[in-house]
Amino acid sequence: MIFREIFFGPEQYRRALALREEILRAPLGLPLGEDDLQGESDQLHFGLFDNGELVACVIAIPLTAEHARIRQTAVAEAYRGQGLGRSIMTQLETTLAARGFASLSLHARSTAVGFYEKLGYQTVGSEFIEVSIPHRKMVKRLT
Ligand SMILES: CC(C)(COP(=O)(O)OP(=O)(O)OC[C@H]1O[C@@H](n2cnc3c(N)ncnc32)[C@H](O)[C@@H]1OP(=O)(O)O)[C@@H](O)C(=O)NCCC(=O)NCCS
């Protein structure tokens, strides 16, 4: 399994869009809309590849030089429960820490809060609705 950055525009980015649509939006009956895609050329896209096939992806938005927001974490259904979610998040954190980021935040689906807690993220504030389902804000310091 190989972790690498996905550059905006070429084929791999389109594959990441297809995976995000399948995992994160189709089950909600919501297509990835313009709001989701706006500004993505300035965001950092990463994936896990199994023999060249994209099986997990995640995006980081640099909000300041030291803080990034994580979004759109997705692992292909057939690959879940095998440590890939942990793997892509920890490799993402190592990569971002090496680029100078000191803290991360994200909007976790309430169903995924336990996953992020296992990775050291802490909830902040109360539950809110985003893309029609409950979420919690979570944060983690990298340094
Ligand atoms: C959430 C998701 C990324 C987890 O990926 P995964 O590859 O199945 O997770 P891992 O196998 O790496 O699990 C790591 C640990 O978290 C736990 N875990 C995984 N999903 C969990 C969940 N939804 N709730 C609580 N714990 C969870 C695992 O049991 C494992 O614990 P362990 O280390 O004690 O054994 C994946 O299920 C997914 O893509 N879900 C659909 C999209 C989604 O909800 N994304 C998050 C949007 S905020």
Q: 123 CA to middle of ligand 1, Å?
A: 16
pTM of the predicted structure, to 2 decimals: 0.96
Q: State the DSSP code for 32.
A: -
Q: State the DSSP code for 21.
A: I
Size of the chain, expressed as the number of residues it contains: 143
Atom index in ligand 1 nearest the CA of residue 111 equals 23
**Residues 12-24 pLDDT 10s:** 899 999 999 999 9
Domain boundaries in the chain?
2-141
Contacts of residue 4, defined as CB under 8 A and 6 or more positions apart, other chains included, come to: 46, 47, 49
**Residues 64-105 pLDDT 10s:** 999 999 999 999 999 999 999 999 999 999 999 999 999 999
Identity of residue 10:
P
Edge-to-edge strand order for the sheet containing 122-130? 2-6, 44-50, 53-62, 67-75, 103-109, 133-141, 122-130
Q: Does 138 contact ligand 1 (Cβ within 6 A)?
A: no
Is the pLDDT at 42 greater than 90? The verdict is yes
CATH architecture of 2-141: 3-Layer(aba) Sandwich (3.40)
If one residue of 54, 115, 129, 131 were mutated to test the ligand 1 pocket, choosing by the most ligand atoms within 8 A of its CB, it would be: 115
Contacts of residue 74, defined as CB under 8 A and 6 or more positions apart, other chains included, come to: 19, 20, 23, 24, 56, 57, 58
Secondary structure of 59-104 in the HEC alphabet?
EEEECCCCEEEEEEEEECHHHCCCCHHHHHHHHHHHHHHHCCCCEE
